[in-house]
């Protein structure tokens, strides 16, 4: 190493070099943050079991689950602009905490289970509220 190279290395990057490095790092973090914030949604697939409505209603009755919420959902076939309104229902057994979400496909005369589980809780709004500092 030459004498003047040693003098530059011993002084470090200096004020301008440090500011440049901080600006560069901040720019990289900003670009990465923007890309994460505006990322496209990811489509997930999961098994959905469909069958005879009478058979499913019998199973729900045996589980003690009753319909507590209903709505209409707008279903579209993938790659198609055809829209089809179908009922969707939320069944629950408030004693055991089990639930089942079903979707009626009226045109096919079938019903599909799109979700089920346990641990039913009606008091969850606080999980979606922004926390405020005291």
The model carries a pTM of 0.62
Domains in the chain, number: 2
Chain centre to alpha carbon of residue 96: 26
Q: Is residue 26 domain-resident? A: yes
Question: For residues 101 and 89, is the Cβ–Cβ distance under 8 A?
Answer: yes
Nearest CA to 119 out of 89, 93, 82, 86 is that of 93
Q: Is residue 9 part of a domain?
A: yes
| pLDDT 10s digits, 81-108 | 777 889 999 999 999 999 999 999 888 8
Residue 116 within a domain:
yes
Question: Does some domain include residue 21?
Answer: yes
Q: What is the pLDDT of residue 25?
A: 63
Residue 119 confidence (pLDDT) above 80: yes
Q: Residue 47, class by beta-carbon neighbours within 10 Å (0-12 exposed, 13-18 middle, 19+ buried)?
A: exposed
Residue 112, pLDDT score: 93
Q: How far is 115 from 91, CA to CA, in rounded Å?
A: 10
Q: Are residues 79 and 109 in the same domain?
A: yes
Are both 93 and 28 inside the same structural domain?
Answer: no
19: its two tokens: 């500011």
pLDDT tens for residues 22-72? Answer: 666 666 665 666 555 566 788 778 788 999 999 999 999 999 999 999 999
- Domain hosting 33: range is 3-37
Same domain, 60 and 112: yes
Q: Is pLDDT larger for residue 93 or for residue 8?
A: 93
Query: For residues 107 and 86, what is the distance between their CA atoms, to the nearest angstrom?
Result: 9
In a domain, 130, yes or no: no
CATH number for the domain that contains residue 117: 3.10.450
Residue 43 within any structural domain of the chain: no
């Amino acid at each position: 190493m030459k004498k003047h190279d040693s003098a530059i290395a011993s002084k470090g990057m200096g004020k301008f070099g440090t500011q440049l490095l901080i600006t560069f790092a901040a720019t990289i973090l900003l670009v990465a943050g923007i890309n994460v914030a505006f990322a496209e949604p990811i489509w997930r697939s999961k098994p959905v079991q469909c069958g005879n409505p009478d058979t499913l209603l019998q199973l729900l009755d045996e589980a003690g689950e009753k319909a507590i919420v209903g709505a209409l959902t707008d279903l579209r076939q993938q790659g198609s602009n055809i829209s089809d309104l179908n009922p969707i229902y939320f069944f629950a057994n408030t004693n055991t905490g089990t639930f089942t979400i079903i979707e009626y496909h009226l045109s096919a005369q079938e019903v599909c289970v799109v979700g089920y589980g346990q641990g039913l809780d009606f008091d969850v709004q606080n999980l979606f509220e922004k926390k405020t500092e005291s």
